[in-house]
A and B are shown apart, each in its own frame.
Chain A
């Protein structure tokens, strides 16, 4: 996960075409673009609006409504702290605070060196292992506050 290459027209067109330019697939298209660039660069939204023939306001409202999308560049490593109920009763709030303290960021923010972005997720469905943190898709379960530092240090 890095802030990857700049969006090219070809790439965007191929994503739009893979969904047959169906406006109903807007969410999926945005997901693919975010997977490609790590966030939704401004010019991609304009391109989608033209490519699907839907107003830019609609593209923007969808992109800002859903939690999964970011309009700002994100860090190389995406930390997702699960705040599901099972994790909550097992102390996920304290884990979130500790990660935020170590990195000096709040949920949704990115560290200045673009190494980490910390986000929260409602539930990842691995409740048996709460509190759970997912970094770049890798799950770390039964995480207590005293293990946070070591976990963060294992990423470069």
Chain B
């Protein structure tokens, strides 16, 4: 097989023959330990778990019987490091390197390590299989589902699952127009945020005048709290590449770029390896699968500028210039990179393309809602029990995501809002929990889909602070080219700082609204024109919190430092002294055993350390 891998495949038949030989050489009943090597699990110590498994298998001479596969993110980050035993799909969660020996012993005996199974918090019962865990059960994982069957650095894994069959189908049996027609019929909308119909973009780019056409994959996932593109690029880079090649064929482009954030080193590495492997097999490069079609892809790393997610800024950065956007009188599909027609789609959009071509537009059109077809990946983060990546059909109700999949809010706290759409999005309150999640419904609620971040906020989240957070974020990321964005955000930031620091005055809210209207109407690019969204939605749904800050000098959530004081609940404090040790400013004094501690307001720097360590709720923050 190694020898064949060095040969470029000259036809779709050769690809099928290679696929057959790969599948034949594999024993699907063989036990395989699948360990998540995604960024979340790695941060939780997955590298040690992987090393321990490797050692165990070697020492026991099991390497030929039990295989080990390190994959991308399956989504359940909250419970990482995650290990799945295939083919049974037994899920072990929060695995540490010390558990490796026990897992290997149990697995070879056909037994299960009970203590590492997931316990359903509702029924208190242990759940053995991955697909039975509520977090996974209620999802539809067309894209993410493959991650646990693929080592992203092994192209054979992707081929064994039918990879590049869609490309072969497009190149051998479909005209470029037919490919565009199929994507159009499927109703695929761009997953980067705007939801623009992908096929319309492709068609315009194909018909635009130019010497060449560029194809770009936007993996500059700048929205804080969003990491779906990262996980696709890390976990299944070939699906993205396959989508790009199909798109390039349809559009008539021969050169492509993947623009990746530099903060995603693993995505850069895996994409690079995937490109090399695809080139070796003739799935990329000259004369792809013997069809005469050429397409090559380069990787470009971003420099840490949020505005580069905007297409014209991204293209400026690709040309080696400052990432400033330009006005779009002429669209980038007509004049983009180096003044040539350029088609840019985001990672998730590209990853959907092979599915559509392989299974057909009719199949795809059955998934999702009326105006938004297919599935969408969301990163479910913040104050939620099951943090992670989820994939659901478009149109699912918000509450089914938050409570059904996310398992609700931790520590019995009350849900307050969900923020979608990144810094350009908005906050959706409890009263709209029945909202079906798709492009159009989120727009109507004053928010947007964005790239798919969903940040859950509870009663301890201050909505004015959140608005301030986003405005500050965007003020820092504004490129400074146009005045409304540069100056407007600065003023909005100052007003919000006043409100949260106890200097708010009457008229501030109205001023924020006026500034917002100006930014929306006059900013050069979408960064500025959508920047007021977090302010406007929090004003729309949580105006009373703004008023409490301004009129009563009070932060109802207990977040805004200047408006909050800390004190000791003497009834609840047993004098354990944990807070005394934690306090960095020696503001808390131990009064002896079983006596409540004493807090000196003069010395208190409101760092929250005592509040964090006290498990008895004896620190009052309000």
Contact = CB atoms under 8 A, between A and B. Distances in A.
Q: Which DSSP category, helix, strand, loop or mixed, fits chain A's interface?
A: helix
Contacts of B461: 89
B544 interface: no
B303 A89 contact: no
A127 B387 contact: yes
B533 interface: no
B584 A101 contact: yes
Nearest to A25: B320
Nearest to B323: A65
B613 interface: yes
B78 A27 contact: no
Interface residues of B, number: 62
B566 to A, nearest CB: 12
Contacts of B592: none
B230 interface: yes
Contact of A122 (B306, B322, B381, B613): B306
Interface stretch (B190-198, B221-229, B437-445): B221-229
Nearest to A101: B584
B39 interface: yes
Contacts of B262: 31, 68
B320 A141 contact: no
A85 interface: yes
A54 interface: yes
A111 B226 CA distance: 32
Interface in B437-489: 453, 455, 457, 461, 466, 469-470, 473, 477, 479
Contacts of B466: 88-89
B322 A62 contact: yes
Contact of A128 (B388, B455, B582): B388
Contact of A85 (B455, B605, B608, B613): B455
Nearest to B223: A123
Nearest to A139: B43
Nearest to A88: B469
Interface-centre pick from A26, A66, A127 (highest chain B CB count, 10 A):
A127
Nearest to A62: B322
Interface string B269-303: 00000000000000000000000000000001111
Contacts of B322: 58, 61-62, 65
Contacts, number: 167
Contact of A31 (B303, B323, B453): B303
B381 A54 contact: no
A84 interface: yes
A27 B609 contact: no
B577 interface: no
Contacts of A129: 40, 43-44, 77
Contacts of A52: 320
A122 B303 contact: no
Contact of B473 (A58, A122, A126): A122
A25 B317 CA distance: 9
Interface-centre pick from A24, A69, A141 (highest chain B CB count, 10 A):
A24
A146 B584 CA distance: 8
Given A62-B320, A128-B388, A91 B608 contact: yes
Contacts of A109: none
Contact of A28 (B301, B422, B455): B301
Given A31-B303, A90-B382, A85 B224 contact: yes
Contacts of B43: 126, 129, 132, 139-141
A94 interface: yes
Contact of A125 (B230, B319, B388, B584): B230
A61 B78 CA distance: 41
B304 interface: yes
B339 interface: no
Interface string B37-81: 001101110000000000000000000000000000000011010
A127 B225 contact: yes
Interface string A140-156: 11001110010000000
A145 B263 contact: no
Interface string B421-449: 01000000000000000000000000000
Interface of B: 39-40, 42-44, 77-78, 80, 221-227, 230, 262-265, 300-306, 317-324, 379, 381-383, 387-388, 419, 422, 453, 455, 457, 461, 466, 469-470, 473, 477, 479, 581-582, 584, 605, 607-609, 612-613
The 6 closest A-B pairs by CB, nearest first: A66-B303, A128-B77, A125-B227, A26-B320, A84-B224, A139-B43
10 contacts: A31-B262, A66-B302, A66-B304, A83-B473, A85-B419, A85-B470, A91-B608, A122-B304, A126-B39, A132-B43
